[in-house]
Amino acid sequence: MAKEERFEKAYSQSTMMGAIEIWIDKETGVNYLFRHDGYAGGLTVLLDENGKPAISETSEY
C-alpha cells in the first residue's frame, strides 16, 4: 500500500539552471516557495498581505 504524499506541487517555473516552485502542505494548507539554482536552494513560507502564512483550502488538494 503506497503512502500518501503530504506535499503537492501547485506551480513550477523552470529557469536556465533551476526552478521556482510553490508547494502546498495538504494537511494544513500552508503554501511554501521553493527556489533552486544549480547546487543551491531555499524554502520559505509564502505570506499574505497581512504577514501571515498564505493558506489554501485543503479540500482543493
Domain ranges of the chain: 7-60
Q: Which residue has the cell 508547494?
A: 23
* Res 1 pLDDT > 80: no
Q: How confident is the model at residue 60 (pLDDT cuts 50, 70, 90)?
A: low
**What whole-number distance in Å separates Cα of residue 33 and Cα of residue 19?**
11
The pLDDT tens digits for 12-40 are 999 888 999 999 999 999 999 999 998 99
Terminal-residue alpha carbon distance, the chain: 20
Backbone torsions φ then ψ of 42, nearest 5 degrees? -155, 155
Which residue from 55, 36, 37 is spatially nearest to 45, judged by alpha carbons? 55
Record the pTM.
Answer: 0.83
